[in-house]
Amino acid sequence: MPFVNIRILKGHSQQRKDEIARRVTEAVSEIAELPKEAVWVVFEDVEAPDWYVGGKTAAKPKE
């Protein structure tokens, strides 16, 4: 069974996560030719200070 782990910056709404999970599940199910119930999707919320892009934190700088 496919297991999809999505790391995302903390703060996204449950509605947005639901839609992402729905679309990912549909895509994996279709391509792998498996029932949707066989696809697991897990979100890991990451705090902005712990997320780096290009060596810089995604956290807003303190003023």
- The set of catalytic residues is 2
Residue pair 34/1 in contact by the 8 Å Cβ criterion = yes
17 contacts: CB under 8 Å, gap ≥ 6: 8, 43
Residue pair 3/42 in contact by the 8 Å Cβ criterion = yes
